[in-house]
Structure 1
């Protein structure tokens, strides 16, 4: 396991004119955006789907990575459904076995890895915000698999690693592919007839995808190994955040707001402390309300 005090002063990791990023899960909502974002930054970006790779079938993964020689693997690939036994088996194969396959090759080729995790590694029972030092206790199957992925990363012999735990991610683009996991897209789909409820008793600050991209870049350039939290600051529940977003959605905003229904599951708090990442990278994370005002045009 790599020393947690290692930083990216190692020229192997960043002293190159154009970093080379390999992104798993590059067809997903976040992976698609990160690929485009880092392309615009002038980086070389290699998308896993362009090579027809599946991390749960590693037969040609080593060969591809050996040829590409990326400076960083951004590991996003994950299976999100677990409603029935076949889904759970598939999720285990991709989220855990696939991660282990990828790490075996990253160890062999000495490639740093940034692993995208989730606030769902916590049980939501804490009254205060969660820090990176708080013990994990996931209640969902997805959260349990992410914890296993985190453990694999921390115990791998890598030149560097980062675990980035994210709150739910959103984007202003809702009518393009890759948006199934976009919080805002869910609101619009509800308006278009796909009924859905938002929990009024669950709290956590949604984060815009651009902030995720900027944070990943910052961690690669100068972040120490370890676990980091990324979320916006807000006192609103998921239901209240959905209603707040609806106010900015144009002429149909009142009709859209009417489609947002509250549910009342057991109270949970997934708010995360972001002091570590702001201190490490010297950044300011906008509040949820500031981000909505920035990205959505109010009529």
Structure 2
């Protein structure tokens, strides 16, 4: 983006969890052209090229993705198209018109065997198709030569779409006891947190006298809520902060007792220190974000 000049911002996936929030937080940073699948279907690569060339944005923000992790195991082509090929095309088109690209990736690029927090330069080793497709998207963007920010996040939830929070609230209203995996750990991250921090970072890019901002800052950053818990701990906190009259008992179980088509990493915890050191922004603790999310439903 050219510093000091209002730019057109092309936002994909506006009906998704993160896209919905970004459409609000990006206001004031430029003219936001927010498109859903009917206006920009990332599965149609020719349309992707055509739309970018017609709109000629200064910034492309791409939260759209194939996020059905288990379904991706059998729907490999669709996952690769949306998560790898489409971001690559967006990056190529961005480079051609001098635009920058903001893209969102995942903790699932790691295998989960590290004992501590994952840093951006730790070795990647995705264990499922979704993770492999997202990693391929990261690599396509980096290889394109376009100015870019790739934000890896984890365990995304919100008040829209399909996610763990909404599933727990639905099941908790129907059942007196739930069994939830207790040996996989990560940072539940509210979609609003992702959008707010993204906007804070991008506000720095459009500040005066920042003509070389993208050259200095392009790369991968981890962006998750602070702290960590298990899926079981996440579920317990959901019911603690919820307004359900009768709250279910949440029974801890090992992941082995709840097999899924896609293998999930046991450790999805990522360090946000690079994000904080570079941009001066820090995400709230996951419990505080969850409390606020439930208060705004």
SS in 1 for 2:90: helix
Counterpart contact for 2:194–2:224, Cα < 8 Å: no
Pairing 1:233–2:226 present: yes
Shift of 1:192: 4.5
**Alignment CA distance shift 1:50-1:246 (3 Å):** same
Q: For each residue in 1:172-197, what CA deviation from the matched residue of structure 2 results, as whole angstroms up to 9, or x when unmatched? A: x3xxxx4213x321211223549975
Alpha-carbon RMSD across the aligned residues, in angstroms, is: 2.6
Shift of 1:237: 1.1
1:69 to 42, 45, 56: 56
Q: Which residue of 1 aligns with 2:19?
A: 31
Structure 1: segments with no counterpart, 5+ residues: 1-11
Q: For each residue in 1:191-222, what CA deviation from the matched residue of structure 2 results, as whole angstroms up to 9, or x when unmatched? A: 35499753210111112222211221233234
**Alignment CA distance shift 1:285-1:94 (3 Å):** closer
Q: Which residue of 1 aligns with 2:43?
A: 56
**Alignment CA distance shift 1:102-1:292 (3 Å):** closer
Which segment is superposed worse, 267-276 or 210-219? 210-219
Q: Normalising to structure 2: TM-score of the pair?
A: 0.82
Q: Which residue of 2 aligns with 1:217?
A: 199
Greater relative CO (CA pairs within 8 A, separation 6+): 2
Q: Distance in 1 between matches of 2:271 and 2:29?
A: 32
Q: Distance in 1 between matches of 2:95 and 2:33?
A: 19
Counterpart contact for 2:58–2:98, Cα < 8 Å: no
Q: Normalising to structure 1: TM-score of the pair?
A: 0.82
Counterpart contact for 1:14–1:71, Cα < 8 Å: no
Counterpart contact for 2:149–2:218, Cα < 8 Å: yes
Counterpart contact for 2:73–2:128, Cα < 8 Å: no
2:180 to 176, 180, 198: 198
Pairing 1:154–2:142 present: yes
Q: Distance in 2 between matches of 1:31 and 1:209?
A: 9
How many pairs does the alignment contain?
275
**Alignment CA distance shift 1:125-1:31 (3 Å):** same
**Alignment CA distance shift 1:242-1:148 (3 Å):** same
Shift of 1:270: 0.9
Q: Which residue of 2 aligns with 1:93?
A: 81
Structure 2: segments with no counterpart, 5+ residues: 206-212, 257-264
SS in 1 for 2:180: strand
2:277 to 271, 276, 279: 279
Q: Distance in 2 between matches of 1:239 and 1:180?
A: 18
